[in-house]
C-alpha cells in the first residue's frame, strides 16, 4: 500500500512538474493524463471505485481529449517560448508557492487528524449504490442544478464557437475556377518539404533554402516570420 502510494506520488508530482515546464502544449496534455491516471488509482485504493472510473472515463477520456482536440484546432505550433515577459512574475510565483505549501503543511501538521474511520461501513452495500443513494436523496437538488449547468454550458459553447457565414458557400465549380484561374494553378507546396521539422506550422523550403510561406495553412501561420526564424534558430542550438 505504502509502496503504491509513494510510487504514484512521485509519478504524479514529476508529471505535474513536467506539465508546467514542457514547452509543447501536447506534451503538457500527455503529462496531465499521467497525473489523472495516477489519481484514479489513488481513488480506487481509497474505497472510491466509482470516482476512479469517472476520473478515467470523463477526465482522461473526455476532457483531456477535448483539450487535445482544441490544441489541434488552434494549431499545434512546435513550442511555446518560455521566456518570461512579466518582470518578477516567476520569482513571485515561486516564493508564493513555497509559502503556500509550507503554510498548508504547518496547518495540517498541527491539525488533529485522528484515526481513519474507513469506508467499510458506508460502502457496505456497494460503493456505487451508496453514492447513488446520497446523490438522489440528500444531494438531489444540487444534482438537478448540475444538469441545468451542463445544458447551459453546452449551449454557451455552441454560441461562442458559432460563426456566421458571410458569403455564400462556393460550389465545386466555383472552387475549381478559383483554383485554376488563380495565381497558383499547380498544387500548393505541402508543409515540411525540405524542412527541418514535420510540424504543420513550419514552412517548406524552396530549392534555394528560403521558406515557402504558401506551404503553411493561413489558419496556422499566425506567428510573424521573424518569430518563427527565432524559434528555428533556437532549435538548432
Nearer to other proteins among residue 81 and residue 177 (C-beta): 81
* One residue of 7, 34, 43, 179 binding other proteins per CB under 8 A: 43
CB-CB contact of 191 with 216 (8 Å): yes
Q: Kindly determine how many residues on this chain lie close enough to bind other proteins according to the rule CB under 8 A.
A: 90
Q: In the stretch 109-128, what mask flags binding to other proteins with x, by CB under 8 A?
A: xx--xx-xxxx-xxx---x-
> In angstroms, what is the minimal distance from the CB of 186 to other proteins?
27
Helix (H) or strand (E) holding 211: strand 211-212
> In angstroms, what is the minimal distance from the CB of 187 to other proteins?
25
Site for other proteins in 142-181 (CB under 8 A): 142, 146, 149-150, 152-154, 156-158, 160-161, 163
Query: Angle, nearest 10°, between helix axes 2-21 and 25-45?
Result: 160
> In angstroms, what is the minimal distance from the CB of 199 to other proteins?
15
Residue 183 is classified by DSSP as S
> In angstroms, what is the minimal distance from the CB of 214 to other proteins?
18
CB-CB contact of 35 with 55 (8 Å): no
CB atoms within 10 A of CB 35: 20
Site for other proteins in 5-34 (CB under 8 A): 5, 9, 12-13, 16-17, 19-20, 25, 28-29, 32
If you count them, how many residues does the chain have? 237
Main-chain dihedrals φ then ψ at residue 212, nearest 5 degrees: -100, 100
Give residue for cell 509543447.
Answer: 24
CB-CB contact of 198 with 192 (8 Å): yes
Site for other proteins in 195-214 (CB under 8 A): none
Q: In the stretch 47-86, what mask flags binding to other proteins with x, by CB under 8 A?
A: xx-xx--xx--xx--xx--xx--xx-xx-----xx--xxx
**Nearest CA to 76 among 211, 181, 191?**
191
Cα separation of 64 and 140, whole Å? 28
Site for other proteins in 83-112 (CB under 8 A): 84-86, 89-90, 92-94, 96-97, 99-101, 103-110
Q: Is residue 139 at the binding interface for other proteins, with CB under 8 A as the rule? A: yes
Amino acid at each position: 500500500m505504502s509502496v503504491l502510494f509513494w510510487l504514484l506520488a512521485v509519478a504524479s508530482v514529476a508529471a505535474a512538474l513536467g506539465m508546467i515546464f514542457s514547452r509543447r502544449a501536447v506534451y503538457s496534455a500527455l503529462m496531465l493524463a499521467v497525473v489523472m491516471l495516477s489519481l484514479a488509482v489513488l481513488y480506487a485504493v481509497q474505497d472510491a471505485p466509482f470516482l476512479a472510473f469517472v476520473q478515467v472515463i470523463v477526465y482522461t477520456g473526455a476532457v483531456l481529449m477535448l483539450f487535445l482536440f482544441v490544441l489541434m484546432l488552434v494549431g499545434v505550433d512546435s513550442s511555446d517560448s518560455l521566456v518570461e515577459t512579466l518582470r518578477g512574475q516567476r520569482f513571485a510565483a515561486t516564493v508564493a508557492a513555497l509559502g503556500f505549501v509550507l503554510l498548508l503543511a504547518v496547518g495540517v501538521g498541527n491539525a488533529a487528524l485522528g484515526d481513519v474511520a474507513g469506508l467499510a461501513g458506508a460502502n457496505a452495500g456497494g460503493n456505487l449504490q451508496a453514492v447513488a443513494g446520497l446523490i438522489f436523496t440528500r444531494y438531489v437538488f444540487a444534482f438537478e442544478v448540475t444538469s441545468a449547468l451542463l445544458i447551459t454550458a453546452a449551449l454557451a459553447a455552441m454560441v461562442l464557437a458559432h460563426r456566421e457565414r458571410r458569403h455564400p458557400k462556393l460550389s465545386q465549380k466555383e472552387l475549381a475556377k478559383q483554383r485554376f484561374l488563380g495565381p497558383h494553378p499547380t498544387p500548393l507546396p505541402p508543409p515540411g518539404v525540405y524542412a527541418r521539422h514535420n510540424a504543420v506550422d513550419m514552412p517548406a523550403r524552396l530549392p534555394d533554402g528560403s521558406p515557402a510561406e504558401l506551404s503553411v495553412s493561413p489558419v496556422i501561420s499566425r506567428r510573424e516570420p521573424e518569430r518563427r526564424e527565432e524559434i528555428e534558430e533556437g532549435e538548432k542550438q
